[in-house]
Structure 1
Amino acid sequence: MHGAPPRPAASRRPLPAAGVALTLVAALSVASAPAHAEDRTTPVQLLAVNDLHGNLDPAPGPAGAITRTGVDGRIETVPAGGVARLATLLESARADAGTAHSLTVAVGDMIGGSPLLSAAYHDEPTVEALEALDLAVSSVGNHEFDEGVAELLRIDRGGCHPEDGCADPQQPYDGADFPYLAANVLPRAGAGTARGSAREPILPPYWIKRLPSGERIGFVGLTSRDTQDALSASKARDLVFQDEVRTIDRYAAELDRRGVRAIVALLHEGGTRAGRTYDADCDARGPASELTGRAKDIAARVSPKVDMFVTGHTHEPFVCTLPDPAGEPRLITQAASFSRTYTDVRFELDRESGELVRPSARARNHVVTGDTPGHEGVSRVVETWRKRSATVANEPVGHIAEDIPGRGSDRPETPLGDLVSDAQVAATREQGAQLALLNWGGVRADLVHRASGREGDGVVTHGEAFQVQPFENPLVTMDLTGEQLLAVLRQQFSGSHADSPEVLQPSGALRYEADTRRSGADRLLTDTVRVAGEPVRGGDTYRVTVNEFLAEGGNGFSVLTEGTRRETGPSDLTALVDYLRGHSSPGKPLRAPAADRVTWR
């Protein structure tokens, strides 16, 4: 169904007409494209998205906004996102390109960490919406593995969920009608594979698109080699995530042997660019001068056989050029998460050689603005699933007096992170919990005071709580010595976090100071660490609650695997819902915590 050769054109479903014509914002840029030589080249358009995370609706709060330069030159932040709006703009972009050769591609994390609307049905709603967007191909990302490899294969190939059954018994789930690619994901030795040889990836490594005019484009799709660090040990145990450069080079050479001369890497490993706006000039001081991160390093080393990189993972939109090992420029692009932007890439293929004419390649990110009309066909898909989940999603569970920023906060310690960690202590008090630690990525949204539906301002619904804690990770309470607790706090600033610290969101009993002028583990000022006002002593024992992901050493916090006397408690979602119910009311809504438990020098 999803091998490397191209699929028949009949396998794609056409996108229904929106009945709306929109004008794209500005001319595409990066390099000036030569005039199309009709007798020598074929024009191609790629429309790229990434990191949707099942957000069929716009994400609430700051996570559902984008910063841009307004018509008056001022920096402004505007609401953005929503797959129905995205569909309208993709359709308009295809019309604007004026070519029959337009492909929509995705770069992983399209599912996983999803709001209740999609997660209640194991992301089948998102797959159906992506099909309606006319998605041609997608790489896997780390979040495609959130429910394990067997569930990912079900999403790819079809079948009812083994525990929850069919969402619609009259029409069982038939799998994705676009191929998922996983070039660097192999079964661990002895684990077996559904594809046959243990040396094969769990899903196809690449996909070849043959254009009607005969030219072919090869897409190599893969996720970060660090995906295993983003998964709980039970989900990663049977998998090996191989090095990205060696993997891309291997399959680029294989595509070249098959006569495919135009190659695009769909890489779920991203970068971060400087600049406040989504379209900040990435090449302001030279090629990719404003770009940092692993994707830049990977793209700089991969074989010149690869013509372009479309990336994901860091949620940051950028369009950059970067020299390949032969010194020739090639594009590296990424769209913003949650469908806030899409990337429009255009280039020419040489009809005689089949090669991608790199000087013709240009790209730009476009904002999916809140005033964009929703696409009729995609809106119909979303509303069908919304009706199925409405009863649970709309149930009120708490009240807030103001916005409580989490995912949309730009601070290392967030108000919502503090609230969730307090909820986890409250939920595990019977297990003796004194404090809780929460990974920053464990909070997936914001709690927004303004009503998202008919519930009224300040009312938190079950669906909104689920959006904050969608993984339903069990909580684990363990004994840590004082020295182990200090070691965990040092790991926030060392090892894999040496260059990009990750502050574990602390519950109210924990306080400490950190010095940003120092480096590595020395950033933690050990003598300032307090639990319930008392200095932490190396030989004392503390009861600490974390989610299962952290308890298994996730995100590089390996010291937590040493915890003893472990007790499993309720899920993180249950803890949050119970806390909201027990600590808020219409007359006494919760205020945002001050997020002052970590003091920065």
Structure 2
Amino acid sequence: MTHSRTRRLVGVVAVAAAAATVAATAGGTATAAKNGPTMDIQLLSFNDFHGNLEPPSGSSGRVTVDHRLDPATGKAVDVTKDAGGAEYLATNLANARKGHPNSLTVAAGDLIGASPFLSAAFHDEPTIEALNAMKLDASAVGNHEFDEGYKELQRMADGGCIDDGAGANNQDSCPGGKTFTGANFDYLAANVDYAGTDKTILPAYTIKKVKGAKIGFIGMTLKDTPSIVTAAGVAGLEFKDEVTTANKLVPELKKKGVNAIVVLIHQGGVPNQQVWYGPDNKPYTVNPTYDYTCAKGGTLAADSPILPIAKNLDPAIDMIVSGHTHQPYVCNVPDPKGQQRMVTSASSFGRLFTDTNLTYDRRTQDIVRTSVSSANMIVSREVPKDPTQTSIINTYKELVKPIASRVIGHVNTDVTRTQNSAGESQLGDLIADAQLADPSVVTNGQKPVIAFMNPGGIRSDLTYANSPYGEAPGDITFEEAFTVQPFNNYLVSLDLTGAQIKQVLNEQWSGANAGTGRKILQVNAGFNYSYSGTTLGAVTVNGQPLVDTQTYRVVTNNFLQGGGDGFATMAKGTNVYYGGLDIDAFANYLEANSPYTPGPLTRITAN
């Protein structure tokens, strides 16, 4: 497999770090003692950073460390610890490297995309700058690396600026005359080819040398990436099977004298719930602690997508660093020869990193499988802030103020994404109404009459008391609006028949979404429907029954229009027309309908 573009080589070597308690050890037949001269190597890893330069807040900024009984309810609750933030991640990584002269740092994708406004306002250039300063050596791409299209991903890797009007569209590449040099680390995309070719859009692998030891890193995203990203962003690309891709690269690496191979993959697993015994000696089912799976008896759910991949990757692959599910685990999974092989994931948002220590056999030029030990480490905020990261954050906080602080509207009360029993939310109503009102999706004078919004794309609430820039209570800044919809999706209008719209509604609980819980689409005022269990009831448009044979103009974001979230029928729409950004429609609607008060949740009815 070849890569059609030239990439700079990033040398290796980092110093390394303090080590953690062994959480798990992979089994094998050889031992370091029998194999001759060896060297110790440290591998630090993380995943799903999502541009969280500042410490994430709420549940996104905590890890579960224990459990306790709530005296008021008698129920078991989580004991948590605050964690994360680039300033603390950098310090924790640097501390971990101390005493480890042979150290590498790698990641498993989604480092950018779905980022907080501080990074997203500058096309995630600040996050790449921060990761460079953390001495990251290599990373797989994840699905969110494609949020702004694969060409933008290539720019992230190689550098360069966008002429985007210096904040005219609420984003500013290379602000204040800054330059963007791209990633100093290797972004890897082994299973993403230009369609009809064997050329990857980014390098498939990288070989790192540590004092003569050669370690190959293969980087991949999940093969299902096209179903969960904007179709336009991956048009012309082919996403190949993860196992087939990696296994084909093993002989290629071996020809280059590389026997030590690690896979970085943006696909993951989900830990099963933990059974915790309280002080009353009774068992309680609780959320697992960050270190429960698998070191303390925890297990991954049998349907975890990473398991069939791990079980079928070539036995020559020594370790798997995974991500995507935002879960913490350090587990052994048997390879095709039945030998245990380490599979790790470090939660998300920079709250954890994985510290792996291994032995490299100079005679076989391979990793001694029995030596591999890993543990997830909390990114404690009880350490000094890294000054370089602080400088990066402060620089961009100043640069973002003109975009972020602009007041775009006013709300009279909190407007939340909390769903009622039918699955409808105040913010869902507001966003769907904003989509319907957006003039950018009107074609030939034809206005949409139905709007659909996926609930997973609503990421935060509009809070009346929140005043990040000292604005009056209830005032909503562009930054607050962006935090609600952080993906920079385009709005798209299209034609669907009444029958197709009913099929879309049925796909909320069938097809790819069967058995996964409801994915209730948020809809505009004037569109109503009911359901009972998994049976669709009455559907009306402006008070009139939806007619199967009639064509209706629909507006949604390009993620849903491309069939995302399992709504395959959306992709069958005709007369597709791309409008402006969803965040602009949202901001404009708030500005035009201020002050805003949410109405009753009566658009969706569950019987």
1:576 to 582, 586, 589: 586
1:324 to 320, 335, 339: 335
Letter in 1 for 2:487: F
Change (3 A) 1:326 1:559: same
Matched, 1:495 2:511: yes
Q: Secondary structure at the match of 1:343?
A: strand
2:453 maps to which residue? 438
Offset at residue 303 of structure 1 (A):
0.8
1:69 maps to which residue? 66
Q: Distance in 1 between matches of 2:555 and 2:373?
A: 49
2:479 maps to which residue? 463
Q: Distance in 1 between matches of 2:373 and 2:379?
A: 20
Matched, 1:88 2:91: yes
1:122 maps to which residue? 123
2:262 to 232, 247, 264: 264
Letter in 2 for 1:80: A
2:144 maps to which residue? 143
**Residues 410-460 of structure 1: per-residue CA shift (max 9 Å, x gap):** 997665444422332343697544432122442344445664734366543
Q: Secondary structure at the match of 1:217?
A: strand
**Which region of structure 1 is more displaced relative to structure 2, 86-95 or 276-285?**
276-285
Q: Distance in 1 between matches of 2:357 and 2:474?
A: 45
Letter in 2 for 1:235: G
Change (3 A) 1:226 1:54: same
TM-score between both structures, scaled by the size of structure 2:
0.82
**Residues 493-534 of structure 1: per-residue CA shift (max 9 Å, x gap):** 33333343561431253333352xxxxxxx3x1225455666
**Residues 80-110 of structure 1: per-residue CA shift (max 9 Å, x gap):** 3321121122122223xx2112221111111
Q: Secondary structure at the match of 1:485?
A: helix
The 5 A counterparts of 1:165-184 are 167=174, 172-184=179-191
Offset at residue 590 of structure 1 (A):
4.7
1:44 maps to which residue? 41
2:72 maps to which residue? none
Letter in 2 for 1:396: V
Q: Secondary structure at the match of 2:224?
A: helix
Determine if contact 1:317/1:335 at 8 Å carries over to the other structure: yes
Q: Distance in 2 between matches of 1:28 and 1:199?
A: 40
1:518 maps to which residue? none
Matched, 1:335 2:370: no
1:53 maps to which residue? 50
1:549 maps to which residue? 559
Q: Distance in 2 between matches of 1:46 and 1:409?
A: 45
Q: Distance in 2 between matches of 1:310 and 1:63?
A: 21
Offset at residue 342 of structure 1 (A):
2.0
Pairwise CA RMSD: 3.8
Offset at residue 181 of structure 1 (A):
0.8
Change (3 A) 1:9 1:571: closer
Q: Secondary structure at the match of 2:251?
A: helix
**Residues 528-574 of structure 1: per-residue CA shift (max 9 Å, x gap):** 54556665442345443211232233344232233345555442112
Determine if contact 1:62/1:408 at 8 Å carries over to the other structure: no
Gaps of 5+ in 1: 16-21, 190-197, 516-522
Q: Secondary structure at the match of 1:263?
A: strand
Number of residues paired by the alignment? 569
Letter in 1 for 2:468: G
Offset at residue 172 of structure 1 (A):
2.9
Determine if contact 1:553/1:559 at 8 Å carries over to the other structure: yes
Matched, 1:232 2:230: yes
2:276 maps to which residue? none
Structure with the largest fraction of strand: 2
Letter in 1 for 2:204: P
2:204 maps to which residue? 205
Q: Distance in 1 between matches of 2:602 and 2:49?
A: 28
**How much identity, in percent, do the aligned residues show?**
38
Determine if contact 1:30/1:362 at 8 Å carries over to the other structure: yes
Q: Distance in 1 between matches of 2:438 and 2:591?
A: 12
Q: Distance in 2 between matches of 1:359 and 1:474?
A: 50
Matched, 1:159 2:164: no
Change (3 A) 1:222 1:502: farther
1:242 maps to which residue? 240
Letter in 2 for 1:423: A
Change (3 A) 1:333 1:9: closer
Offset at residue 150 of structure 1 (A):
2.3
1:388 maps to which residue? 399
Q: Secondary structure at the match of 2:41?
A: strand
2:528 maps to which residue? 510
Q: Secondary structure at the match of 1:135?
A: coil
1:375 to 381, 386, 411: 386
**Residues 101-134 of structure 1: per-residue CA shift (max 9 Å, x gap):** 2221111111223233222222211110000111
2:25 maps to which residue? 31
1:357 to 340, 356, 368: 368
Q: Distance in 2 between matches of 1:247 and 1:404?
A: 46
Change (3 A) 1:285 1:76: closer
Q: Distance in 1 between matches of 2:579 and 2:289?
A: 41
**Which region of structure 1 is more displaced relative to structure 2, 443-452 or 82-91?**
443-452
Q: Secondary structure at the match of 1:128?
A: helix
Change (3 A) 1:93 1:249: same
Change (3 A) 1:362 1:236: same
Q: Secondary structure at the match of 1:270?
A: coil
**Residues 153-191 of structure 1: per-residue CA shift (max 9 Å, x gap):** 2221222225458616765322211111111111113xx
Letter in 1 for 2:568: S
Letter in 1 for 2:174: A
Determine if contact 2:26/2:341 at 8 Å carries over to the other structure: no
Change (3 A) 1:422 1:372: farther
Change (3 A) 1:82 1:243: same
2:501 maps to which residue? 485
1:345 maps to which residue? 356
Determine if contact 2:355/2:374 at 8 Å carries over to the other structure: yes
Q: Secondary structure at the match of 1:271?
A: coil
1:519 maps to which residue? none
Letter in 2 for 1:345: T
Matched, 1:134 2:135: yes
Q: Distance in 1 between matches of 2:367 and 2:55?
A: 35
**Residues 291-348 of structure 1: per-residue CA shift (max 9 Å, x gap):** 5322111111111111111112222222222111111111111122222222222222
Determine if contact 2:357/2:373 at 8 Å carries over to the other structure: yes
Offset at residue 262 of structure 1 (A):
1.6
Change (3 A) 1:460 1:28: farther
Letter in 2 for 1:110: L
1:311 maps to which residue? 322
The 5 A counterparts of 1:406-425 are 406=417, 416-425=427-436
Q: Secondary structure at the match of 2:199?
A: coil
TM-score between both structures, scaled by the size of structure 1:
0.83
Change (3 A) 1:408 1:511: closer
Q: Distance in 2 between matches of 1:411 and 1:64?
A: 29
2:279 maps to which residue? none
**Which region of structure 1 is more displaced relative to structure 2, 471-480 or 304-313?**
471-480
Determine if contact 2:426/2:598 at 8 Å carries over to the other structure: no
Q: Distance in 1 between matches of 2:505 and 2:311?
A: 34
